[in-house]
Structure 1
Amino acid sequence: MNHQASTPAWPRLSLSAVARTLDLAPEVVDRLTPVAGPDGPRLDVPDRETADRLLTRMNTEPEDRATTLAARPDPDGDPELCWLLDRSARLLISQLGQRRPGNPAWAALPGGPVARHLFVWVFLTVTPYVRDHHAAIGLSDDESWASLSALGSSLAGDRRINGRPGLDATWGLPMTFSGTGFRLGRLAYERQPRHTAPGHPILRPGESALNTHIPGNAGPLTPAACDASFDRALDLARGFPEQVAGFGCHSWLMDEQLADHLPAESNIVRFQRRCTAFNDRVRADWAPILHVFRRRFEGPEVPRALLAELPQRTALERAVVGHLRAGGHWYNQTGWFRRLP
């Protein structure tokens, strides 16, 4: 008898069918529409051995490697998730190196372990393409892997905050795995579209800035480490088609109130002093609670009971809690400064 392997059903699914089954939000459907058709590159999801090697290279902790490998989507048992994996990977490949406004979030998928790890498998699938792109724009091998290690950091961070493995909403990872976000030493960056309108704090029409991030897992924010990172970023930017003319950092660490609570020579205050202009100020009490203490809360106000639980070991911890206890608020805002390659 001639036995032939059955063809998996997931390639024949439609976006509308997948959206109904997985209850995808309208913005997710809109995001996937350009790559929803049957035509596109044939993508190979890495096997578990290859995935383990990639995750290890991305500094993924053993617990997160184990849960990811156990949650590899099954073409027969998880057809809709396999379709979503394939089209999400196609989307990232189609966007390689494209500078887009904003920072698009990929919302967490409802469901069990396979759904919570699905985007991890998307990122692993596109890794060879991103690595090739990194080499093409001038990143070294070590810089490339340091950039992709954002995946390992995100897995560990989400697990510690939520008490369960997998990814929640992925804010920066789609930028990293479409090649526009990269890590250079102490800081990380995202390429941005050219600015076109007059009235920007530092940019002239036609210029661009590198969106700057301050990873929390990279040691002290010393001026020397930041100088080295900014210098390397400008060196890399010489090869970009856009004219990079400075840096912008949107973060609660750019809240100028921190200078009222921290020593003048603290690394955070010295980083702020690089900036010559600030804008886009938005209340964000949640930000220091999340990034300093790895805690979340519901509602606009930080519960007093939560403040009472938070450690007060460092000057920054005391500044965050003391300001909130006194009735103050913390804000995200963007700090800008101009520098040319």
Structure 2
Amino acid sequence: MTQDLPLSGAVKPYPEPDAADVRELLLDWCGAEPEDADDAVKGLAALDPLSRELADRLYQSIAADMGGRKWLAWPKATEPHPLLGLYPLLASVPDMLAFHQGRGVEEDLSRRVLADVGEKLRLNRRLYGRAGLDVANWFTGHVRGVLYQLGRLQFCVEGAGPKPFVGMHIRGEGGPLTLDAVRDSVEWALEFFPAVFPDRYSGPEDLVFKCDSWLLDPQLRDWLPERSNIPGFGALFDLEGPGDPKGARNSLWRFVFARTDDTPVEKLPRDNTLQRAVLAGIESDVPWRNRSGRLNLARLGL
């Protein structure tokens, strides 16, 4: 995969962030914890020449595809540099801001989308007991100007064709997933994307929203209480296909339990209703699956 990245400096000079840049961006823009910012500064100083060259090439892949679609394929960060992908992302923030400003996106939304970085740093620390960003490539959608946090939900330009569908994504720290919050987010997106991407969408009628998530598994309705927001969210979608036959273990272990997927079932936490419901299903051999679906706007009254 590394061989598919642009060469160092192929698009524009790599503005490697210095320690002050890393700290300011993480604390003031990304809402990261001080310990993650401290470790990121230490990690930057520890990069060897080959790692710095790879960071440059990762940055080049971003600079070459501003305003593209979805997120980019990056090699996984490995020891001893689990934060390697963070630095080209931070270096791309000025590029993101310039793209946003050119499309009329206000700074508040720029800051809001970067808050996801702080969240994922916190999740990585819970998963691995140290600083890291194991899904750094996910943020290439953020900094290339194609993913936005609009209220409760994130929306990303995805898919092929002249009018790509808009993917819907759910931050763990975004708050309750109520139908009112979902409706407000979708209404915002219906206005936002034609305004920001008039070359792709002439109006709300061009927008198709899709989601791929364990949250759409209809089996959850049998295990969660009626007051839960999750079944109501899943019911908004017309499901497509049977779901991943490999199941949703990685997603559930990561997002429900904040554990790596090699954690034995008996060691998973049972601290909240969702964890207890998912575990009850696991212990009853329920084949939890990620499901894909198309949002049915009529079910939101839109």
Contact 1:126 1:177 in 2 (8 A): yes
Residues 110 and 207 of structure 1: is their aligned pair in 2 closer, same or farther, counting only changes over 3 Å?
Answer: closer
Aligned to 2:268: 310
Deviations 1:100-126 (A, max 9, x none): 5xx5443333332xx222211111111
User: Partner letter of residue 85 of structure 2?
Assistant: F
CA RMSD of aligned residues (A): 2.3
Aligned to 2:63: 93
| Aligned counterpart for 1:291 among listed residues 248, 252, 255 | 255
User: Partner letter of residue 209 of structure 2?
Assistant: F
Deviation at 1:338, TM superposition (A): 4.5
User: Partner letter of residue 329 of structure 1?
Assistant: P
| Aligned counterpart for 2:76 among listed residues 69, 91, 108 | 108
Aligned to 2:190: 234
User: Identity of counterpart residues, as a percentage?
Assistant: 28
Residues 331 and 104 of structure 1: is their aligned pair in 2 closer, same or farther, counting only changes over 3 Å?
Answer: farther
Q: Which runs of 5+ in 1 are unaligned?
A: 1-26, 196-205
| Aligned counterpart for 1:179 among listed residues 134, 145, 161 | 145
| Aligned counterpart for 1:132 among listed residues 88, 95, 98 | 98
Contact 1:95 1:178 in 2 (8 A): yes
SS in 2 for 1:281: coil
Aligned to 2:171: 215
Contact 2:11 2:64 in 1 (8 A): no
Distance 2:164 2:3 in 1: 30
The answer to whether structure 1 residue 263 and structure 2 residue 225 are counterparts is: yes
The answer to whether structure 1 residue 63 and structure 2 residue 63 are counterparts is: no
Distance 1:339 1:208 in 2: 17
User: Partner letter of residue 273 of structure 1?
Assistant: A
Residues 38 and 151 of structure 1: is their aligned pair in 2 closer, same or farther, counting only changes over 3 Å?
Answer: closer
Contact 2:220 2:231 in 1 (8 A): yes
Distance 1:106 1:317 in 2: 31
Aligned to 1:82: 52
User: Partner letter of residue 108 of structure 2?
Assistant: D
Deviation at 1:308, TM superposition (A): 2.7
The answer to whether structure 1 residue 28 and structure 2 residue 2 are counterparts is: yes
Contact 2:12 2:63 in 1 (8 A): no
| Aligned counterpart for 2:154 among listed residues 163, 185, 188 | 188
User: How many positions carry a matched residue from both structures?
Assistant: 290
User: Partner letter of residue 77 of structure 2?
Assistant: L
| Aligned counterpart for 1:146 among listed residues 92, 98, 112 | 112
Contact 2:69 2:141 in 1 (8 A): no
The answer to whether structure 1 residue 43 and structure 2 residue 14 are counterparts is: yes
Q: Which runs of 5+ in 2 are unaligned?
A: none
Distance 1:28 1:39 in 2: 15
- TM-score calculated relative to the size of structure 1: 0.78
